[in-house]
Amino acid sequence: MDIEKIKADYHLFVDVQMEKYLKKNKKTEFSSENEARLVIAKIIEAYNTTIAPEDKKLDNYTLKAKRAWFNSVNIDFGGLK
């Protein structure tokens, strides 16, 4: 188990999902610290329930394939703004 590889994949997932959230809400940054905390908490929850259980898949994925998978995960942010 390569912890650096796991961390890199985790950070990539967070980055992809934050980009999706900001783009969807026509923003370039979070409006408040509270918004950032709530969004990141939802992203971490999604990672833990969707990606982590199937992390072995990532061993054989290219960066492009990882981005595509991570981008395909849709998170319900519950109307956060």
Number of domains in the chain: 1
Residue 65 lies in a domain: yes
CA dihedral 74, 34, 30, 64 (to 10 degrees): -40
Residue 36 lies in a domain: yes
pLDDT for the residue numbered 37 = 96
Residue 78 lies in a domain: no
Q: pTM (2 decimals)? A: 0.91
Per-residue pLDDT of the chain (81 residues; tens, 9 = 90+): 689 999 999 999 999 999 999 999 999 999 999 999 999 999 999 999 999 999 889 999 999 999 999 999 999 998 665
Interatomic CA distance for residues 62 and 67, integer angstroms: 9
pLDDT for the residue numbered 81 = 55
Domain span at residue 37 reads 3-72
> Residues 17, 66: contact at Cβ < 8 Å?
no
Interatomic CA distance for residues 52 and 55, integer angstroms: 5
The structure tokens listed for 74 are 């849709």
